[in-house]
Structure 1
Amino acid sequence: MTEKKRVTFQSLLEILMVSTRLGLTSFGGPVAHLGYFHEEYVRRRKWMDEKSYADLVALCQFLPGPASSQVGIGVGLMRGGLLGGLFAFLGFTLPSVLALIIFAIILQGFDVADAGWIHGLKIVAVAVVAHAILGMAQKLTPDLPRKTIALFALAATLLWQTAFTQIGVIIVAGLLGYILFKSHTAVEDDRMTFSLSKSVGYISLALFFGLLILLPILREATSLNWIAMFDSFYRSGSLVFGGGHVVLPLLEREFVPTGWLSEEAFLAGYGAAQAVPGPLFTFAAYIGAIINGWQGGLLATVAIFLPAFLLILGTLPFWDALRRNSKISRALMGVNAAVVGILIAAFYHPIWTSSILEPVDFVFAAVLFSMLVYWKLAPWIVVVTGAVGGWILYLIF
């Protein structure tokens, strides 16, 4: 059993600094974020091993809410306890929150979705995700059964693109893993360490479900706009499977027909959300700022991310014991293989299909991939190169 690390101010500051850098440079959507996290937390800093990271990704893929943000929170919780999780969340989220609030206040109506540097950042995401998939596939699909499970997950996720396909794939993969790997026994020396008690888990889950029930009642019983806003954003963050791209149309249905903001304002914010790094759920900050200034932006951010925070706090205290159970461990072997397939499917669509449009895009992606994998350059250098290179390519072609 690994001894729990003592959380110090220096370790919390390190978590905040690293997550903030990721929040400033992680473009490309939730799957790309998992690639950035893998590069930083697993490959470079070795804060956790491949299996622990894959298990955490599998858990967060299964939970509703922003999977990449939940993975970041989970890494922070394991590294620095409750404060570590909070600092990891703030560092990764605040840069895009502030950027989108500023967009809402002073840049409404600007067309940023088709800018050349944005396209360059999409190509960066191709290189980052490809690198992450290669590393995870080597560790998590070493044999033919797990390669076959990954193929099944890839095919199902691409061919049946619904909100619940991903959950169904993970459940089936878990059953296959349980059946196929009966000779496997759980490894005893790869314990995930974090300072959260089970009582914290129970309280967090109670709060999650309690707010989901209580907020609509308060909304009907009062005429306070901020409660109605909080309820709409909290519900959106609680009931969405599939990440940020799924929550955007849900938020449109929640706020445009009701007159909170116009269709034009929503579409302007949609373009802005694609232009900033960090989680797409921060689009809520833009909507909140349109409705009620920066105060509304902060309220919307807290409301939409609170379910994700409560769910990861509620499940992690029980997750290590479950994953070390031999039966659960067998199922997780199948689940982790499926995660590789799901990531490959997301790598093709939407990342590849929206980024590699011309031969020059493929060449540029190959250059960025080489910078990251072979030349071992820091991810932020690759991001800057992608933005500048995308702008130059836009001017030339």
Structure 2
Amino acid sequence: MNDQNETVIDTLRTDGSPWAVFLIFLRLGLTSFGGPIAHLGYFRDEFVTRRRWLNEQSYADLIALCQFLPGPASSQVGIALGLSRSGYAGALAAWAGFTLPSAIALILFALGIAGYGDAMPSGVLHGLKVVAVAVVAQAVWGMARNLCPDAPRITIMAATSCFALLAPSVWGQVGGIALAAIIGLWLFKPRQGSAHDPLPIPLRRRAGLLWLTLFFTLLMGLPLLASMLPNQPLAMADAFYRAGSLVFGGGHVVLPLLQAEVVQAGWVGNDAFLAGYGAAQAVPGPLFTFAAFLGASMNQAPAGWVGGLICLLAIFAPSFLLVMGALPFWETLRLNIRMRAALSGINAAVVGLLLAALYQPVWTSAIHAPQDFGLALVALIALMFWKLPPWLVVLGSGVVGAVFSTIL
């Protein structure tokens, strides 16, 4: 026990500062390809398996919370981890480290580096899609072993996965989680003294209420200000703040709303919009950084770096406010017996959603030929059994994808 306590203390000393949090998330921001589901797999490997910042149960609970909040779930999980580790500065550091690499790359692309997309050898992007299969499969396997230990939870996992595939929409996912919560309330009876690993949140409930109030104030106030005070930066902030506030399901779901906001308004041409979306698939980190490309591509000032920064901050601002507003109440809910029973069902459902995502869109968009399956299998073995670092597996898969494209 003493050795375990000393290990925890050493971990806090080495990666508990905002700067350390920034560096950890910066590495993830440079290497986390594959979209939000894959990001959650990378996070699990880094913070549950490797660094032990929290256990599997707490990580699944945190994912469940962020699935219920609008905005990018993987970024919100990162913000919450940074907040629990080093307060507000840690939350900002986690977001900056994970987000800035792709945001900077997309702004540079928007500023006219025409060779940016062509510089990537053919097949690299496909190799990165294939390695996402391995990353998600590893996450599903690891979480299922811990969160679905018996027949009822395995059944919930499988049923939720089928439900998500048959109802492929955000509401289908939310409905599956809600149904699993109801089943958990009815089926599971957690003991009062069962083990619980709290996620340290350095915020009081009063602060949480303040952040939630600010979230709704901006959501209702920005459109009024934009209509009363015609101003391009204010209009951009309003459009992208609403996009980050009202969209469930992550980056891909926000695209139709953004297209309606910026293309129909004449801010960005449709060809540029589609080119930027294509480039966003080729960079690591959250797809919400597509907002930085759109801000930098505006046909009217502000554009460039200023426009990119305005849109980037506006689309992520709701995530900060919602996470900081919800987390002070989350720990109390987790300690409630009935809530923990519901969470037993929700956690199994989260694994089911990951399993569904492993098939659609991760598998279906990446595995088209026998060599794709072989590359995914080798990447999975490299992650699970050879214990190679994820960034190295990602890099190797990109290189192999480029080789396949030239010889096959």
The bucket for the TM-score relative to the shorter chain is: over 0.9
Give 1:12's aligned amino acid. Answer: P
Q: Please, what TM-score do these two structures have when normalized by structure 1?
A: 0.96
Deviation (angstroms), 1:33: 0.2
Matches within 5 A, 1:66-77: 66-77=72-83
Instruction: Identify the match of residue 320 of structure 1 among 321, 328, 331.
Output: 331
Q: Does residue 187 in structure 1 map to residue 194 in structure 2? A: yes
Match in the other structure for 1:83: 89
Query: Does the aligned pair in 1 maintain the 2:291–2:315 contact within 8 Å?
Result: yes
Q: Which sits farther off after the overlay, 210-219 or 150-159?
A: 150-159
Deviation (angstroms), 1:189: 3.9
Query: Does the aligned pair in 2 maintain the 1:219–1:231 contact within 8 Å?
Result: yes
Query: Does the aligned pair in 2 maintain the 1:186–1:329 contact within 8 Å?
Result: no
Distance 1:385 1:295 in 2: 35
Secondary structure at 1:164 match in 2: helix
Give 1:30's aligned amino acid. Answer: P
Structure 1 pair 19–48 and aligned structure 2 pair: CA distance change class (3 A)? same
Query: Does the aligned pair in 1 maintain the 2:111–2:304 contact within 8 Å?
Result: yes
Query: Does the aligned pair in 2 maintain the 1:181–1:330 contact within 8 Å?
Result: yes
Q: Does residue 394 in structure 1 map to residue 405 in structure 2? A: yes
Match in the other structure for 2:374: 363
User: Between the two proteins, what is the percent identity of the paired residues?
Assistant: 53
Q: Does residue 39 in structure 1 map to residue 45 in structure 2? A: yes
Which string of whole-angstrom CA distances, capped at 9 and with x for unpartnered residues, describes residues 7-56 of structure 1?
89962222111100000000000000000000111111111100000000
Give 1:208's aligned amino acid. Answer: F
Secondary structure at 2:305 match in 1: helix
Distance 1:251 1:218 in 2: 20
Matches within 5 A, 1:63-212: 63-107=69-113, 115-182=122-189, 184-185=191-192, 187-212=194-219
Distance 1:281 1:262 in 2: 19
Match in the other structure for 2:343: 332
Deviation (angstroms), 1:223: 1.0
Query: Does the aligned pair in 2 maintain the 1:65–1:242 contact within 8 Å?
Result: yes
Deviation (angstroms), 1:95: 0.5
Distance 1:9 1:362 in 2: 37
Match in the other structure for 2:24: 18
Deviation (angstroms), 1:163: 2.4
Instruction: Identify the match of residue 253 of structure 1 among 242, 257, 260.
Output: 260
- The number of residue pairs the alignment matches comes to 395
Distance 1:13 1:294 in 2: 24
Give 1:335's aligned amino acid. Answer: I
Match in the other structure for 2:275: 268
Q: Which sits farther off after the overlay, 164-173 or 232-241?
A: 164-173
Instruction: Identify the match of residue 67 of structure 2 among 34, 58, 61.
Output: 61
Match in the other structure for 1:347: 358
Deviation (angstroms), 1:187: 3.0
Which string of whole-angstrom CA distances, capped at 9 and with x for unpartnered residues, describes residues 365-387 of structure 1?
11111111111111111111011
Matches within 5 A, 1:367-378: 367-378=378-389
Match in the other structure for 1:243: 250
Give 1:329's aligned amino acid. Answer: R
Which blocks of at least 5 consecutive residues in structure 1 are unaligned?
A: none
Distance 2:114 2:75 in 1: 26
Secondary structure at 2:297 match in 1: helix
Query: Does the aligned pair in 2 maintain the 1:30–1:279 contact within 8 Å?
Result: yes
Structure 1 pair 165–384 and aligned structure 2 pair: CA distance change class (3 A)? same
Deviation (angstroms), 1:199: 1.8
Instruction: Identify the match of residue 233 of structure 1 among 236, 240, 262.
Output: 240
Secondary structure at 1:120 match in 2: helix
Distance 2:238 2:193 in 1: 42
Q: Which sits farther off after the overlay, 340-349 or 156-165?
A: 156-165
Which blocks of at least 5 consecutive residues in structure 2 are unaligned?
A: none
Give 1:299's aligned amino acid. Answer: I
Query: Does the aligned pair in 2 maintain the 1:7–1:81 contact within 8 Å?
Result: no
Deviation (angstroms), 1:201: 0.6
Distance 2:189 2:293 in 1: 50
Q: Does residue 224 in structure 1 map to residue 231 in structure 2? A: yes
Give 2:123's aligned amino acid. Answer: G
Deviation (angstroms), 1:180: 0.2
Deviation (angstroms), 1:111: 5.3
Deviation (angstroms), 1:124: 1.1
Distance 1:321 1:186 in 2: 15
Q: Which sits farther off after the overlay, 10-19 or 233-242?
A: 10-19
Instruction: Identify the match of residue 277 of structure 1 among 281, 284, 288.
Output: 284
Distance 2:407 2:360 in 1: 27
